[in-house]
Structure 1
Amino acid sequence: MGRGGEQDGASIPDEEWDRFLREAASGGNSAPKEPSARARMVARRLREEPDRPTGWRTYELGSGPRDKQRRSGRRGRKLWYAAALLAALGLGAVALNPAGVAGWFPGADDTHSERQGVGTAPSTTVAQQPTLEEPFKGSPAQKWEDGLAGIRFPKARAAGWMDKAQVDQALDRTRDFLSASSLDAGVLRGKHPDKAIALINPRQQDVQQLLKTAFRNPSRKNNPLLLFSRFDPAKVKLAGNVVKTRGRVTYETGERGALEVTADVTYVYPVVAAEEGSSAVARTIVRRELVMSWDDPAKVKTEAGTFSAVSYKLDTTNGGCDLFNGYLNPKFGHEQTAGNGDGPVIDPYDRSQPIDERMRGAEGQGCGRASRT
């Protein structure tokens, strides 16, 4: 297993792999299949970008000698899990002291591009400190929309095995998952995300194993933050009831005629320390990309109204670098300047690059530093 939080898997026979590739390419074989995020991502990359290099800390399923052999070409037929976690610029890229860093710009416009649904790189102005009354002060998120309103959804049309009405329903359930996993007040305060988990295919064994382990024994390998935003209520509380968002949902026809939905969303969480009387506001920024497959039940073992995960990727700022306790772990005040990483300085509000490109650009550079939160 990679260092990020995915599970170990076993090799499969060559003849089984050959059969999988033929069926993935042709969409054949009417017998329902057990959905696997590893197999889905392999087929997706073979179909779209067969020569694309693995992103930085794109955690694969397995990291032992067999996997090293596979990466060198001697065991190229092992399924890999494409759940990627950007730990250096993600999982806690520690923010610099906002009072001493140029690069803050209140209300910068980072509107979406048509192709990627990401924003342009922002300009630079003088920082302003957040307060309990204005927790987004000094941040581009000050002009972002609240909650689901900041996430752009496409119009429904027939795609894959679904007609227009079914696509519309799948998009509604995608919206429900984003809300229940990353915006729900109880989940943000550390509660178990039951509503969100109910929307994940219970027959997708690799993801279900992750879910069973992640909350009981969180680690880099099994990390609930890959799918859910959570704070430890004994240490952190939200500063108000508003989460600012910017992101976009798109869809296309995926493997075996499924409706494949991609959500790439940045969430901005204003927080304060849980101690009585705490007033120093910090912000934790989470960019999460999730690819969901709404499968044809005639071809894939699934339950109505649930999706199978194709991949998930995470990039966090001021969330705790290389600390895997199942929660986002923000720092406050002068603590934000302590222990800064040695990676490149990045702007967590900059959505001008797809998350894959950002990850590749920071490959191997350790925990990064954010120009602001």
Structure 2
Amino acid sequence: MTDKPSEGSSISDEEWEKFVRDAERDGASAAPKEPSARARMVTERLRRQEARGELPAGWRTGPAWQETNGRSARRRKVWSVLGVLLAVAVAVIALKPSAALSWLPGGSGADPDTPSASPLEGETTRPSGAPADVAGQPTRKQPFAGSPAERWATGADAIELPKAKAVSGVSAARIENALRLTKKFLVAANLDRDVLYGAEPKEALALLDPLSKKYVDRLRAGLRRPTVENDPKWNFTRFDPDEIELVGTEVRVRGRMTVEPGEGKGGRALIRADYTFVYPVAKAGGGEEVTRTIVRRAVQVDVVDPVKYQATEGRIWLLDLSSEIGNDACRQGDGFIHPRFQADLYASPEPSGEVVDPYDRSRGLDGAGTDSECGTLSRT
């Protein structure tokens, strides 16, 4: 087969090429023209050749028509896909308008399963009052819903160290190391996953200066045989794994760490670390109800010039550790925190002590701990 006339045709090559040029020119013209006598003659010859089967198949359409048809087919395919997408979009709008609104620039229809509150800046000074109430109830998907902690930072990253400077004759390098060890202690005592599930806080204990033997021995004795008077929960956050399940992997944390001159004429500095930890929990075994326990720790660490005072390198000396635990059955004396759920409140009334907001970090905490009365929480 060939695109030229067959050998038996009476049309010359020159006539064929002229016909093609005339056809292309006439096809591009906007207005139809009356065919010339020669064009009619050529057309008649082509008609007879087509009847005898002497012309190639598809000679009327040619490559240009096929290419145009290909582009049209592609356009149809594109519009088919767009039609499907449009149908999906209509279905989404009908079923969940909030999701459709969130696609728009500045749309306010955020998915309710996704917290929309922006995180708070780090705390640098004592707040002037308690944080505002937050609407919502905790669930397994949103364990911090309804809590100011929804906007708090998470885990160890929330414990930010201040810039170390020389204080009261104690070098900046020694202050920096003590700040780092203080953070390490807070993390080991309140964020270590094994400790939260009741394990012995070995790393936290190893950070304490062995020269403070009496204090360290008392902590170890409480861990071995806890009592109401010597309950390790006032120093280490621990839940009974047979009773409590931590919900999710996050613990929200807020607080600050500062350095000031210590007591005496010089050579001593004091680190004050004041942090609140919020733990979402449920009953072990897949309980649906989620509640929260809020633990606040205020730690004072003595940092000394080793030329003037005796201390162990790489350890910290705890001058004081005050605690407040919000949502705990209180005075169990078994070494664990026991969060209370709605069923527990129905079984026994709330304590009748002072009403306390566990999120109110404007209150002082010095001296709180084992002697504190069991109060009533305003929220969890």
On whether the aligned pair clears a TM of 0.5, the verdict is yes
Counterpart CA distance in 1 for 2:118 and 2:149 is: 8
- In the alignment, is residue 328 of structure 1 matched against residue 337 of structure 2? yes
Higher relative contact order (CA 8 A, sep 6+): 1
> How much does 1:159 deviate?
1.6
Counterpart CA distance in 1 for 2:222 and 2:117 is: 36
- Residue 129 of structure 1: SS of its match in structure 2? coil
Report the AA paired with residue 198 of structure 2: G
Report the AA paired with residue 263 of structure 2: E
> How much does 1:125 deviate?
5.2
- Residue 255 of structure 1: SS of its match in structure 2? coil
Q: Which runs of 5+ in 1 are unaligned?
A: 1-105
Instruction: Name 1:281's counterpart in structure 2.
Output: 290
1:35-85 C-alpha deviation (Å, 9 max, x unpaired): xxxxxxxxxxxxxxxxxxxxxxxxxxxxxxxxxxxxxxxxxxxxxxxxxxx
**Residue 110 of structure 1 contacts residue 350 of structure 1 at CA under 8 Å; is this kept in 2?**
no
Counterpart CA distance in 1 for 2:189 and 2:271 is: 16
CA RMSD of aligned residues (A): 2.6
- Pick from 354, 357, 366 the counterpart of residue 347 of structure 1: 357
Moved beyond 6 Å, runs of 4+: 106-113
**Residue 108 of structure 1 contacts residue 122 of structure 1 at CA under 8 Å; is this kept in 2?**
no
Paired residues for 1:111-150 under 5 Å: 115=125, 117-118=126-127, 120-124=129-133, 126=135, 128-150=136-158
**Residue 108 of structure 1 contacts residue 123 of structure 1 at CA under 8 Å; is this kept in 2?**
no
Counterpart CA distance in 1 for 2:226 and 2:117 is: 36
Q: 1:246 to 1:231 in 2, by over 3 A?
A: same
**Residue 187 of structure 1 contacts residue 230 of structure 1 at CA under 8 Å; is this kept in 2?**
yes
Q: 1:255 to 1:307 in 2, by over 3 A?
A: farther
Q: 1:203 to 1:247 in 2, by over 3 A?
A: same
Counterpart CA distance in 2 for 1:310 and 1:141 is: 29
> How much does 1:132 deviate?
0.9
Counterpart CA distance in 1 for 2:194 and 2:261 is: 34
Instruction: Name 1:290's counterpart in structure 2.
Output: 299
1:108-151 C-alpha deviation (Å, 9 max, x unpaired): 99977755x3462223454x211111111111101111012333
- Residue 178 of structure 2: SS of its match in structure 1? helix
> How much does 1:317 deviate?
0.9
Counterpart CA distance in 1 for 2:156 and 2:187 is: 7
Counterpart CA distance in 2 for 1:188 and 1:327 is: 9
Q: 1:113 to 1:130 in 2, by over 3 A?
A: closer
- Pick from 318, 340, 344 the counterpart of residue 327 of structure 2: 318
- Residue 199 of structure 2: SS of its match in structure 1? coil
- Residue 265 of structure 1: SS of its match in structure 2? strand
**Residue 123 of structure 2 contacts residue 255 of structure 2 at CA under 8 Å; is this kept in 1?**
no
Counterpart CA distance in 2 for 1:136 and 1:293 is: 35
Q: If you compute each CA radius of gyration, which structure gives the higher value, 1 or 2?
A: 2
1:160-185 C-alpha deviation (Å, 9 max, x unpaired): 34322222121111111111111111
> How much does 1:152 deviate?
3.9
Counterpart CA distance in 2 for 1:217 and 1:298 is: 39
> How much does 1:226 deviate?
2.4
Counterpart CA distance in 1 for 2:338 and 2:239 is: 7
Counterpart CA distance in 2 for 1:336 and 1:109 is: 32
- Residue 215 of structure 1: SS of its match in structure 2? helix
Report the AA paired with residue 269 of structure 2: L
**Residue 302 of structure 2 contacts residue 316 of structure 2 at CA under 8 Å; is this kept in 1?**
yes
How many percent identity over aligned positions?
36
Q: Which runs of 5+ in 2 are unaligned?
A: 1-115
Q: 1:310 to 1:107 in 2, by over 3 A?
A: farther
Q: How many residues align?
A: 261
**Residue 319 of structure 1 contacts residue 329 of structure 1 at CA under 8 Å; is this kept in 2?**
yes
- Report the TM-score when normalising by structure 2: 0.63
Q: 1:232 to 1:226 in 2, by over 3 A?
A: same
Counterpart CA distance in 2 for 1:372 and 1:119 is: 19
Counterpart CA distance in 2 for 1:125 and 1:108 is: 14
> How much does 1:295 deviate?
3.0
**Residue 112 of structure 1 contacts residue 119 of structure 1 at CA under 8 Å; is this kept in 2?**
no
> How much does 1:348 deviate?
0.7
